[in-house]
Amino acid sequence: MSLISFENVVKEFDGRKVLDGLTFSIEAGEVFAIVGPSGTGKSVTLKHIVRLLTPDSGRVMVDGVNVSDCSSRQLRAIRRRVGYLFQGGALLAWMTVEENVALPLKECDCLPDAQIDRRVAEALAAVELADAAEKYPAEISGGMQKRAGLARAIVRESDVVLYDEPTSGLDPVTSVTINRLIKKLNKTLGITSVVVTHDLQGALAFADRILLLKDGKAVECSTPADFVASDNPDVKEFLSAMKGEMQ
């Protein structure tokens, strides 16, 4: 059984179909990249996994539970297992990096202070951000904010992390650092990673499988090698557009 599966999911906003019968599945332990042109429903897809959005029809299953139709207790259990890295990091401005990372442990898990301190230090070390623990989000760079957001996503020892455009707005060097981090967390902690990205080059380097979305539909889902060699005209069009953009 797949860890996450989308079964014929349809989602409309103001009469416009953003997801149109989307079907695919993600296996436990893999790094799964979702790519595609802007406005094809990549972030919307990610939000369905943790019920920030619910489908108009179809099902989203996480570990055998229908997320769009489960009880609030089941939803809490699913969200407990899932970390989410938002585009801007979504850190609370009035808290330091350390306090932001400790927030879910303090508010939900009610752990003793010593254990919270240890887990926060481990999470910050994992994203190479131990030096910035005492700083406020406004005092650190965009890349550091994303890494702090990632530390908060993994601090509860989540086994799935959803990344929404983890490298958007970052310089190439920082983008490589973030991509390396995604792969490292997958290898060392066995975290299943679902990455929505525009960075095709990065996706080809770190993903186990790549899904191409177009007009809310899955047009290709394959390994990076098969993706590059695909005869699918939509994949070829996307690859050539990306190549042109890079040049």
Partner 1 sequence: MAFVHEVGRTTRVMFASVCAFPTVFRSRDSRADFGVQLYKTGIGTLPVVTVVSLFTGMILALQVGLELRRFNQEIYLGAAVMITLIREMAPFSCGMCLAACVGSAIAAELGTMKVNDEIDALEIMSISPVRFLAAPRILALVVMAPLLAFFCCAIGTLGGGIVGATQLGVNFEQYMSSAMSMAEVKDLMVGLLKALIFGLVIGTVSVAQGMGTSLGATGVGRATQRSVVVSFLMILMLGYMVTRVFYR
**Closest CB to partner 1 among residues 76, 243:** 76
Cα–Cα distances in angstroms (integers) from residue 60 to residues 41, 48, 176, in the given order: 15, 7, 31
Q: Distance between CA atoms of 119 and 113, rounded to whole angstroms?
A: 10
Q: Distance between CA atoms of 181 and 143, rounded to whole angstroms?
A: 12
CB 68 within 8 A of CB 48: yes
CB 183 within 8 A of CB 177: no
Which span sits near partner 1 by CB under 8 A: 148-156, 194-202, 209-217, 226-234? 148-156
Task: Supply angle C-alpha 134, 179, 232, rounded to 5.
Answer: 150
Which span sits near partner 1 by CB under 8 A: 11-19, 47-55, 114-122, 166-174? 47-55
Footprint (CB under 8 A) of partner 1, residues 178-237: none
**Closest CB to partner 1 among residues 92, 229:** 92
What's the per-residue H, E or C state across 52-75?
CCCCCEEEEEECCEEHHHCCHHHH
- Smallest CA-to-CA distance from 36 within 246, 178, 200 is with 200
Instruction: Say how many residues touch partner 1, by CB under 8 A.
Output: 22
- Partners of 10 in the β-ladder: 20, 57
In the β-sheet with 65-66, what is the strand arrangement from edge to edge? Answer: 16-26, 4-13, 57-62, 65-66
Convert residues 106-125 into a mask of x (bound to partner 1 by CB under 8 A) and - (unbound): xxx-----------------
Convert residues 149-188 into a mask of x (bound to partner 1 by CB under 8 A) and - (unbound): x--x---x--------------------------------
Query: Considering the rule CB under 8 A, would residue 41 count as an interface residue with partner 1?
Result: no
**Closest CB to partner 1 among residues 79, 147:** 79
Footprint (CB under 8 A) of partner 1, residues 69-108: 76, 79-80, 82, 84, 86-88, 90-92, 103-104, 106-108
**Closest CB to partner 1 among residues 142, 224:** 142
Judged by the rule CB under 8 A, the positions of this chain that interact with partner 1 are 47, 50, 52, 76, 79-80, 82, 84, 86-88, 90-92, 103-104, 106-108, 149, 152, 156
